[in-house]
Amino acid sequence: MELVKNIAFIHNFSVADNDENLPENLGNFQTIEEFQEYFALNTLSEHQKVFAKRYYSDEEIHYFRNEILEVAENELPEAKQQLAEKDIQFSMAKKEKNIAFDFVRALQTKINDLAAEIKIGKTGIEVPANRTYRVPYKGRLYFYTWQDNGDCVLVKVALMSDEEKEELFNHTDKNEQFFENFKNVKNKRQTQ
């Protein structure tokens, strides 16, 4: 479920499979152009749109909770009352009772669905290609994305396919040097 629209592109991503323990934040860049230039100069990589997992924001969780309260406090009691009234008139209104029962069940399902979304705590997000670089490194693809606050963060790690491993694109000497320098240099923005 995606609720956030037309706000700054700043998210808390959920990244799995970072077995090489690569940094999740490569620094802060003032502009997307600065971020793109940094990758162009320091890595062998390409733009690619990626579907990544992110955690729900506090605003989204607040929205879900308000929706649950609205349904639980206003809609569900009224639906239950209608069910009780129809039950009394059951002999004359069996069809109406079934409609009200289905409505109650739908509202309870809605509550369960919203509660399950909160419990999961994360959702998918499509990250635009111009914000994201795919960097091959040691048999995996590391996806780094620039956010509106300037941070360059790791959003996803995926295994390379056999075809990708054989392509020229995946000769990752430059990328290995980049990450080694990044791990060993205090000022992470000054790679050689």
Number of domains, the chain: 2
* Assigned domain for 191 exists: no
pLDDT at 30 over 60: yes
41/131 same-domain check: yes
46/134 same-domain check: yes
Entry pTM: 0.56
pLDDT digits (tens, 9 = 90+) for 126-168: 999 999 999 888 888 999 999 999 999 999 999 988 887 777 5
* Assigned domain for 107 exists: yes
| Mean local confidence (pLDDT), 39-66 | 88
Q: What is the DSSP letter of 156?
A: E
* Assigned domain for 3 exists: no
113/62 same-domain check: yes
pLDDT at 192 over 50: no
| Mean local confidence (pLDDT), 21-25 | 86
46/131 same-domain check: yes
139/173 same-domain check: yes
pLDDT digits (tens, 9 = 90+) for 72-119: 999 999 999 988 887 887 777 678 788 889 999 999 999 999 898 888
pLDDT for 13 equals 85
| Domain enclosing residue 88, as ranges | 58-120
Of 67, 95, 120, the residue at which a domain comes to its end is 120
132/163 same-domain check: yes
* Assigned domain for 192 exists: no
72/107 same-domain check: yes
pLDDT at 170 over 60: no
pLDDT class of 22 with cuts at 50, 70, 90: confident
Of 120, 145, 160, the residue at which a domain comes to its end is 120
Of 120, 149, 169, the residue at which a domain comes to its end is 120
62/44 same-domain check: no
101/145 same-domain check: no
pLDDT at 186 over 70: no
20/108 same-domain check: no
Measure CA of the first residue to CA of the last residue in the chain; give whole Å.
42
pLDDT for 138 equals 83
pLDDT for 185 equals 62
pLDDT class of 69 with cuts at 50, 70, 90: very high
49, 133 contact by CB (below 8 A): no
pLDDT for 156 equals 94
* Assigned domain for 1 exists: no
pLDDT digits (tens, 9 = 90+) for 111-137: 999 898 888 888 889 999 999 999 888
pLDDT for 14 equals 84
Among residues 55, 56, 47, 57, which one has the least CA distance to residue 144? 47
* Assigned domain for 5 exists: no
164/116 same-domain check: no
pLDDT class of 62 with cuts at 50, 70, 90: very high
* Assigned domain for 7 exists: no
* Assigned domain for 91 exists: yes
The total number of residues shown for the chain amounts to 192
